[in-house]
Amino acid sequence: MYDDDDKLMEAASALVAKGIRVKDVFSPFPVHGIDPIIGVKRTRLGIVAFMFATTGTTLALLGMWYFMISDWPMNIGGKPSFSLIENLPAFIPVTFEFSVLCGAHGMAITYLLRNGTLPGMPATNPDPRTTDDKFVIEITTEQNALSAAEMETAIKETQLFELSIKDYE
Amino acid sequence: MANTKRYWSGLDELQETEAFKTIQEQEFPGAQSVDEFLTDDRLESTHTGRRDFLKFMGFSLTAATLVACETPVIKSIPYTNKPEEITPGVANHYASTYYDGQDYVNVLVKTREGRPIFVKSNAQTGVGRVNARVNASVLSLYDSARLTAPQVDGADSDWATVDQRVSTAMAKEGRKVLLTNTVLSPSLKRAIATTGLEHVQYDAIDYSAFVKASEMNFGVATFPSFKFDAATAIVTIGADFLGTFGDSVYYAENWAKNRKPENGSMSRMHAFETNMSLTGSNSDYRTMVKPSEQGKVATALLQAITGQGGSSSLPEAVQAAVASAAQDLKKAGSKGLVLAGSNELDVQRVVNAINSALGSVGTTVTYDGTDLFKGSAGAVQSLTADMQNGGIEMLIIADCNPAYDAPDADKFVAALAKVNTTVSTSMFNDETASRCSIIAPTHHWLESWGDLAIDRYRIDLVQPTISPLHASRGWGESLLTWTGNAVDWYTFVRQTHASDYTSEAMYTNADWNKSVHNGFLGWNEQVPETPAYRSEGVADAVGRLNSQVGGTFELALYQKTTMGAGQHAANPMLQETPDPLTKVTWDNYVTMSHADVDAMGLNGFIGQEKPASVVKVTLNGASLELPVFPMPGQAPGTIGIALGYGRGANGETIGKAAFQTGENGSFLTDSEGQMVPVGKNVHPWMNVSQGMSHTHQFDVQVESTGGEYALACTQIQNTFMGRDSIVKETDFTSFFAERNADKGEASWNKVIKLAVHEDVNGDGIINAQDAKPAEAFDLWHEHAVENVGHRWGMAIDLTTCTGCSACVTACHIENNVPVVGKDEVRRHRDMHWMRIDRFFASDYSLERGEEEGESVIGTYRKMEDPSGNPQTVHMPMMCQHCNHAPCETVCPVAATTHSNEGLNQMTYNRCIGTRYCANNCPYKVRRFNWFNYPGYKKFANFNPAQDSLMRMVLNPDVTVRSRGVMEKCSMCVQRLQAGKLEAKKVGAPLVDGSVVTACAEACPTHAITFGDLNDTKSSARLTSENNRAYHALEEVGVKPNIFYMTKVRNVEPTQA
Amino acid sequence: MQKEAAIREPLILGDKSYKDITDDVVGPIEGPAPIGWKIMITISSIVAVYGVGSILYLLGTGIGVWGLNKTVGWAWDITNFVWWVGIGHAGTLISAVLLLFRQKWRMAINRSAEAMTIFAVIMAAIFPGIHMGRIWVSYWVLPLPNQFGSLWVNFNSPLLWDVFAISTYFSVSLVFWYIGLIPDFATIRDRMTKPLSKKIYGLLSFGWSGRAKHWNRFEEVSLVLAGIATPLVFSVHSIVSMDFATSIVPGWHTTIFPPYFVSGAVFSGFAMVQTLLLIMRKGMKLENYIHVKHVEYMNIVIIVTGSIVGVAYLTELFISWYSGVEYESYAFINRFSGPYSWAYWIMMTCNVISPQLFWFKKIRRSLIATFVLSIVVNIGMWFERYVIIVTSVHRDYDPSSWGEFHPTSVDVGVFIGTLGIFFTLFLGFARFFPVLALNELKTILKSSGENFKKKQANH
């Protein structure tokens, strides 16, 4: 556990240099630049959002075509209800809004699901202080070739604030 | 094979045990009495646990809730055996005749399931059209204030008692008098003759001077008949013949015949009047004169034409006007017509002199014995005197209300107490009836048989359209009963016309049945002989008139087109129909010229929250406090007050709508807790002299009280701000010059063009001259409207529209338009689907503003003020059924859409009430249901839909709209559908004119032409192609289906 | 870690560590409610109740209890609607647009600004509902197959566009706001000692534990949502403006409405943010996080948008004259000289003149002046909508129907009521929610914190 993001960074890089695989990092705020060091890949949520948005667009256009042109065409103020393209100008606002709606919500929901952050989920951070001002590097022996002792020394070399060793069978 | 199976409902039945048999015998096991049940000691042992209790509670609560959710169901009872002439859902029409002592019309009464719901003119007779008053009179049938039984000494009674009382009184010695309005019914006359009663007639509005004058000058004691269609020059001196004067219902249509510019000629109309009247507002030249000057105008005309008029002191302006009028009259010669509204004998004599000098007697004015207005104020006066000194044993007051509208009514009331037996036949416990010892309520005209003869050419029939609602009895029949004549009224009427008639022949006489069907009996055309003129006493009349002088303020009493002389005071629809000129509803008031208003420092503008100032008008001692309406065209130094208001001043039960209600809908009460009537009664201020009563007072005092009073106007902006794409008008000369121009080419009806950024006229430069017609601009490829089935449309001729408001009431009744009362109207929430915009001309215009270097702001400000004596335009305005309707586009739920018949449809039950459509309507014709009019307490006292009886007048073909939805003119779609069904049944295409909207049907001057614009031969289509036809606000590009016809005034171009 | 030029004014004052930030923000939540807060919430909730009363009366009796009439079909209802939506825009703009522009100063204010957005949009949403004649069938604006056969809604209607715009806007802002809140709720959760509140915040925080991967996604989501919300916020008020722009009423039918309304919205929104923050910063002692610099930045935005609005007004006038259309030109002449000119001139003074005072640095940086002017601006913006709506319809094409509008007590009651509800909600937020974005502040502590800047200076 560290009490400053800079120390955390240095420590992380040092450990990784030693070939220690960092399982995870807990921090009270996004520490920029930590991801590549501990090997977290860039998220693909953006693409998800785009996919949802395009779905929205299609749905909106299809819907309006069905409502206004196909299912029950009406003479409203003499406006053309003969084909989608003629009537399109009036449909643009709703199309846009609906795309945004789907995009935003679709993405948000995916995000929460992937995180597993949902109402009633238990907190999994090892130490409550990590949401305040402390930073934790989580290292497990399973994932590492090095023995616990070696790792401990390695960690001790960093500007450590606190070290807790839990073993759970 | 027969079915031998046997079904049993339990083993008991199968084995037929004793227990089962006993149960089977007594189908209903003996009910245990409540005490028995309660005293049963085993009751103690039984118990309901808390949980059960809660269960039951919960269940019953839910049940109750669910039940409460259900919308109320109004049960309708079907016919047990159907009358063969009635098909539920299909209207029957019956010919009848309307006469209330003032208006006389042949009508068709529309009934649904036996309920009369609509009155329209009977086209078959070809003469006379309904006006607003006749039209709305159907409501009075259902007035819940009507007497349900005869009354004796103020208590409900029965006919036996009444007949017994009256017959004994009849048997007594002494003068027994029958007081009525002018009686036109041959049968009634006959009945009266049989009774041997002394018969006194009077009319609420006295015309005896006319009759007297014709007697003196032509030897026939009759009210003159005017033939406006034959006249090329009409000069009216204060006679509002289009609104309320004489037989106005007939005059209006008659006058319009010669006001169609397409004929190549139009009559020219000069009006000299004090108040701005309907007639004045439709005249070509209008001159403001004081009441004291009206006589002088007559003499001046006489002077100009015959040189016998002597010299009088008239203002230059008036003299000039008289001169031009005289010129036109001379030009017209025998086709000239002069009439004066004043009931002064002298005036009428002079008028007769002028007409005979013109030679128009026999052509434009005839004396062929119409029976109208035989009443005489003098007769009532002498009767009153006799009553006062106890000379009258018995007085039967039939079908009139002298205590309210007789000359010197207060004297009459006092004298009434001196009469031993007083009988009234009023339908209501009104001013007169409430003071009579016996009330023998007569039928409503829609409930009674009868006959009427206005002249000797024709006898019109009155037939009942519904069996009497209450224990009433026609007063003719009552008279017969009281004189021991046992014949029933129907037989009596028949016998009047066929003495050999017996009740056996009731249904057999084909001629009679035909007559009843047509509404009139026999018709013998005769050429009236022209009586010789005797210039009796004209000279001294001239002298007297020329010496008339008035005080600082002169008073001219008048009748409102909507209210008449007061018979209709309790009719909510008429109360709410705005006065055609002032657009004020639910009140009478003092009309005063802007000049005087400013001089006295009174409010010159009446707005929603800007009340009118109250003045105190004093006439020899008596005084009234009334609000002041600043009236353009009111002669300075004069005031006008409408008659026919202030009914039920002592809280008589004459109908709820006659009394004022407050903002919460409850009746307003004065300090004594008395209900406050609508308006003030000025009948006592009629000027009674030499046995004639007329409407002029030459000297009244007017002083400001500093008080204020809210008036409810439906239109608060008086001018049309120079927006000539709304109103187009021209003068006859210019019209005639270009009468054959193509549509859109004539200078007075140019198609509206909008500038474009391309070189249209090909002059190489792009400027304001490069313009295209409005309809060339279209953003999209529109729905086809031409030649696809029907396309309903209208053409409204502004030239012949007089603004009489018959269409407004017709629409009101036909479409169940709610009556919303004074407070809501003041808040600018009147619900009229059909309204008549009244525009006064302003002295000011943008052009003049530029010339005078006035700022634009200032110019517009000035343009809001009408001129002192403005020209007037009456413009009927209803939904224009635009093909590019802006209201349709903006409705989020598609509650208003376009039908494939060109209608702009309003789907009430889809409407969610955003009011966006109303905002987006350039004509502002959409009306929103601000409250639950058929249910909310605020409207309980005047909205017909809230009166258990008056609800009967609602048209079952039209939904009563619920709260929170938008409504508007549907072009009487219910009639269109019915018409199409008829056409379908006969399997022929719909004939032009077979369906017509309520407004078009009611229009007395045929100004509204309705029809199918896709039918190339329909009159509507042809009119719409006329070169006078235009679309209001054409440049907005909403492509309406309603056309307006440029207004043509028969004035000299210089004055146009 | 980004470095920043030392000359830039620090955004976080005082010698702050990460811990301090947490304490400063979360502290108030743990402590007892301050007396001032109690007073304010009492007042605002009383007003709110009055408003609810007026609304119930309205729904029970009918739209007639308002001052509307056959000529003026919309007045205070839609005025309030547009006003509230406009106010809402600042929040999204601050959090989304400024995020895209990497404006760090936004971090101190975006949380509460977003909260304001949410509440303002709720207030706005009330009006389209209650202005309907038949609110009980308001769901008909949704494209639902219904008992009248599959009768669909009319997608040509700007009002329907509104339905979609407003609902989208509301829900998206809500999501945006909440996703930002989750980590901070976690912080509170982990500090809380009382089991109940720990449970509650535990629920609210969705079990957030600040893993690197999550932070990574978190930032992506914030970025993308910001990217979506930016065009959204512009589209929403453009669509609101189309309610008028696509109509044919002279004075409404104006093509410049979309940009004009949007800038107007930002204008009023920032003013409201100022009003709220200046109160909150005092009440919750956040001077170190929300200080003059922030206020000044916002005032600059107010000058800019205010001037845009001013230009729009003048453009309208010019075009109405240039168009040569009688009705258009009269509509605008009537605006500044007609019966409602007083409203027009209030609008002009409050919206065009008053913000120009911010050109003076003194005024710009004076909290009192800012507070006063922010309120003035909001009054002005309310009148802008009133002028546009009422003066246009009360005298449109047909002079025979020219009318007046006179508000009733219910009109006033409903409007005041929404103010009450709004402040009640906001005070609730200020009491129980992290009013600053902790996690974001912490990221900028080192780049923009005063103490760290000093250190840099010393090197």
Residues B636 and B746 in one domain: no
Average pLDDT for residues A119-132, to the nearest whole number? 74
> CB-based contact (8 Å) between C228 and chain A?
yes
C42, part of any domain: yes
Most C CBs within 10 A among A97, A134, A137, hence the mutation to make, goes to: A97
Residue B214 falls inside a structural domain? yes
- pLDDT tens sequence across B721-733: 888 889 999 999 9
The fraction of chain B above a pLDDT of 70, given in percent, is 92
- Which tokens sit at B706? 């500093």
Contact between residue B273 and residue B618 where contact means Cβ atoms under 8 Å apart? no
Confidence category of residue A96, pLDDT binned at 50, 70, 90: very high
Q: Of residues B402 and A11, which shows the higher confidence score?
A: B402
B554 within 8 A of B593, measured Cβ to Cβ: no
Chain C CB contacts of A114 under 8 Å are: 217
Cβ–Cβ below 8 Å for C152 and A105: no
- The confidence score (pLDDT) of residue B817 equals 93
| Residues paired with residue B560 on neighbouring β-strands, in sequence order | B564
Is residue B34 scored above 70 in pLDDT? no
Question: Which helix (H) or strand (E) covers residue B641, if one does?
Answer: strand B638-642
Q: Is residue B22 part of a domain?
A: no
B890: phi then psi, degrees, rounded to nearest 5: -90, -5
pLDDT band of residue B71 (cuts 50, 70, 90) is: low
Residue B3, pLDDT score: 53
pLDDT at C334 over 80: yes
DSSP-derived pairing of the beta strands B115-121 and B104-112: antiparallel
Average pLDDT, chain C: 84
Q: What pLDDT score does B506 carry?
A: 65
Q: Which of A47, A75, A92, A100 to mutate to test the interface with C (most CBs of C within 10 A)?
A: A100
- Looking at per-residue pLDDT, the higher value among A118 and B613 belongs to B613
Segment B832-844, tens digit of pLDDT: 999 999 999 988 8
pLDDT at position A137, please?
77
In a domain, C61, yes or no: yes
Tell if the CB–CB gap between B884 and A78 is shorter than 8 Å: yes
Interface of C with A in 241-260 (CB under 8 A): 242
What are B992-1025's pLDDT values in tens digits? 888 999 999 888 888 999 999 888 888 888 888 8
The two beta strands, B553-558 and B696-709, are antiparallel
Per-chain mean pLDDT for chain A: 79
Q: Within this chain, do residues B350 and B393 fall inside the same structural domain, yes or no?
A: no
Q: Which of B370, B386, B408 is the last residue of a domain?
A: B370
One-letter amino acid for residue B539 of the chain: A
- Which of chain C's residues have a Cβ under 8 Å away from the Cβ of B838? 400
pLDDT in tens, B202-227: 988 889 999 989 888 888 888 898 98
B84 close contact with C: CB closer than 8 A: no
Among residues B662, B688, B713, the one where a domain terminates is B713
Range of the domain at C219: 18-131+171-401+411-454
Query: Are C155 and A67 an interchain contact pair (Cβ–Cβ within 8 Å)?
Result: yes
List, as ranges, residues 85-114 from A with C-beta within 8 Å of B: 86
Sheet holding B458-462: strands in order across?
Answer: B450-455, B458-462, B520-523
Q: Inspect the interface and report whether the beta carbons of C439 and A28 lie closer than 8 Å.
A: yes
Which has more confidence, B264 or B13?
B264
Taking CA–CA distances from B785, the nearest residue in chain A reads: A78
- B847 & B951 share domain: yes
**B795 is in which domain, residue-wise?**
729-1055
Split into its structural domains, chain B has a count of 4
Q: Are residues B304 and B409 in the same domain?
A: no
Mean pLDDT of chain B: 86
Around Cβ A153, how many Cβ atoms within 10 Å? Answer: 11
Q: Do A67 and C161 touch (CB under 8 A)?
A: no
Residue B505 has pLDDT above 70, yes or no: no
Q: Could you report the per-residue pLDDT of C352-394, keeping only the tens digit for each?
A: 888 888 898 888 888 888 889 889 999 999 999 999 999 999 9
Q: Is residue C392 part of a domain?
A: yes
Which pLDDT score, from 0 to 100, does residue A169 have?
A: 45
Asked if residue B294 and residue B195 are part of one domain, the reply reads no
Cβ-based contacts of A93 with chain B (< 8 Å)? none
Number of separate domains in chain C: 1
Query: At a CB cut-off of 8 Å and minimum separation 6, what does C308 contact?
Result: C259, C260, C263, C267
Domain membership flag for residue C159: no
User: Which pLDDT score, from 0 to 100, does residue C44 have?
Assistant: 92
Q: Which of B370, B395, B416 is at the close of a domain?
A: B370
The domain that contains B896 carries what CATH number? 3.30.70.20
* Farthest-apart Cα atoms in chain C, separation: 79
Q: In the predicted model, what is the mean pLDDT of residues B104-118?
A: 88
Do B511 and B635 belong together in one domain? no
Report the pLDDT value the prediction gives residue B1056, as an integer from 0 to 100.
Answer: 39
Lowest mean pLDDT among B133-142, B503-512, C306-315: B503-512
pLDDT of res. B62: 75
Residue A114: strand, helix, or coil:
helix
**Are B892 and C160 within 8 A, CB to CB?**
yes
CB within 8 Å: B782 and A80:
yes
Contact C205 A123 (CB under 8 A): yes
CA distance A134 to chain B (A): 55
| pLDDT band for position C16 (cuts 50, 70, 90) | low
Is residue B533 in some structural domain?
Answer: no
pLDDT at B599: 92
Q: What is the mean predicted confidence (pLDDT) over B917-942? A: 91
Note whether B725 and B1035 are within 8 A (CB).
Answer: yes
Q: B910: which 2 tokens?
A: 């889809």
Residues B333 and B379 both lie in one domain: no
> Which of B781, B785, B894 lies closest to A76 in CB terms?
B894
Question: Would you list the DSSP string of B977-1035?
Answer: HHHHHHHHHHTSPPPTTSS--HHHHH-TT--EEEEETTSTTSHHHHHHHSTTEE-TTGG
pLDDT above 90: percentage of residues in chain B: 28
pLDDT (tens digit per residue) in B795-830: 999 999 999 999 999 999 999 999 999 999 999 999
- Whether the CB of B60 is below 8 Å from some CB of chain A: the reply is no
Whether residue C166 is contained in a domain is answered as no
Cβ distance of C168 and A98 shorter than 8 Å? yes
Query: Are B897 and B1042 part of one and the same domain?
Result: yes
Q: Which residues contact C424 (CB under 8 A, 6 or more apart)?
A: C41, C44, C45, C48
Does residue C136 sit within a domain? no
Is A78 in contact with B883 (Cβ distance < 8 A)? Answer: yes
Q: Compute CA B791 distance to the chain's CA centroid, rounded to the nearest angstrom.
A: 30
B366 and B383 assigned to the same domain: no
- Beta carbons of A131 and C208 less than 8 Å apart: yes
Find the CB nearest C403 among B608, B824, B910.
B608
- Residue A68 confidence (pLDDT) above 50: yes
Structure confidence at residue B43 (pLDDT): 57
* pLDDT reported for residue C452: 61
Residue range C182-208, pLDDT digits in tens:
888 888 888 777 788 788 888 888 878
Q: How confident is the model at residue B1 (pLDDT cuts 50, 70, 90)?
A: very low
Contacts of A71 in chain C (CB under 8 A): 150, 152
| Residues 933-972 in B contacting C (C-alpha not used; CB under 8 Å) | 936, 962-966
Interface of A with C in 77-136 (CB under 8 A): 77, 79, 87, 90-91, 93-94, 96-98, 100-101, 103-105, 107-108, 111-112, 114-125, 128-133
Instruction: List Cα–Cα distances, C51 to B211, B930, C125, C381, C410, in angstroms.
Output: 69, 21, 15, 21, 9
CATH number of residue B185's parent domain: 3.40.50.740
Query: Is the pLDDT score of B32 beyond 60?
Result: no
- Chain B residues with beta carbon closer than 8 angstroms to that of C333: 856-857, 860
In a domain, B231, yes or no: yes
pLDDT at B768: 76
DSSP state of B1036: G
d(C-alpha C438, C-alpha C184), whole Å: 6
Q: What CA–CA distance (Å, rounded) separates B492 from C323? A: 76
Inside any domain, residue C294: yes
Identify the band that residue B76 occupies on the pLDDT scale cut at 50, 70 and 90.
low
**What's B277's domain CATH number?**
3.40.228.10
- Check residues B113 and C413 and name the one with the higher pLDDT: C413
Q: What is the rounded CA–CA span in Å between residue B752 and residue B773?
A: 6
Among B80-84, B427-431, B612-616, C79-83, which is the least confidently predicted range? B80-84
pLDDT at position C431, please? 82
In angstroms and rounded to an integer, the radius of gyration of the C-alpha atoms of chain B is 33
C203 neighbors A120 (Cβ within 8 angstroms): yes
Nearest to C220 among A32, A43, A131 (CB): A43
All chains having 3 or more CB pairs closer than 8 angstroms to chain A: B, C
Smallest CA–CA distance, residue C350 to chain A, in Å, is: 32
Whether B827 and B950 map to the same domain: the answer is yes
Render pLDDT for B700-711 as a digit per residue (tens, 0 to 9). Answer: 999 999 899 999
Per DSSP (E only), the strands in B247-314 are 268-273, 285-288
Which tens digits make up the pLDDT trace of B438-463? 999 999 988 888 888 887 778 888 88
Q: What is the pTM of this model?
A: 0.88
pLDDT digits (tens, 9 = 90+) for B181-195: 999 888 998 889 888
Q: Which of B894, B912, B919 sits opposite C137 (nearest CB)?
A: B912
pLDDT in the model for residue B540:
85
CB pairs under 8 A between B and C: 184
With an 8 Å Cβ cutoff, are A75 and B889 in contact? Answer: no
- Same domain? For B844 and B945 the reply is yes
Please check whether residue B881 touches A, CB under 8 A. no
Considering the domain boundaries, does residue C272 fall inside one?
yes
Same domain, B160 and B255: no
Smallest CA–CA distance, residue C168 to chain A, in Å, is 5
Q: Which of A75, A81, A84 is best to mutate for the B interface (most B CBs within 10 A)?
A: A75
pLDDT at C410: 93
* pLDDT tens string C211-250: 778 888 888 888 888 888 888 888 988 999 999 999 999 9
User: pLDDT digits over B861-912, tens only?
Assistant: 888 888 888 999 999 999 999 988 999 999 999 899 898 888 999 989 889 9
Q: Do B915 and C133 touch (CB under 8 A)?
A: yes
Q: What is the pLDDT of residue A38?
A: 72
* C150 interface with B at CB cutoff 8 Å: no
